[in-house]
């Protein structure tokens, strides 16, 4: 087992290898994720409404 100090040195060395995205790329990817999440939420909400209506119609409520 290595010491915590050695471990943290290795972590710091690995951080130098990270290629961070530009601000524009990060914002674009964030917008894509938000739009996809919103679309899925709308789709699931629509399915919930449709199936709920079908069940209410079958039950007679």
Tell me the three-class secondary structure of the chain, residue by residue.
CCCHHHHHHHHHHHHCCCCCCCHHHHHHHHHHHHHHHHHHHHHHHHHHHHHHHHHHHHHCC
Residue 2 within a domain? no
Residue 58 within a domain? yes
Q: Which residues of the chain have pLDDT under 70?
A: 61
pLDDT tens digits, one per residue of 44-53? 999 999 999 9
Residue 12 within a domain? no
Q: Which domain holds residue 50?
A: 21-61
Residue 8 within a domain? no
* 45/37 Cα distance (integer angstroms): 12
pTM: 0.68
């Amino acid at each position: 087992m290595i010491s915590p100090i050695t471990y943290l040195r290795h972590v710091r060395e690995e951080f130098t290898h990270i290629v961070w995205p530009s601000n524009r790329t990060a914002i674009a990817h964030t917008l894509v994720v938000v739009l996809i999440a919103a679309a899925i939420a709308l789709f699931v909400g629509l399915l919930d409404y449709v199936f709920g209506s079908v069940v209410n119609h079958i039950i007679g409520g």
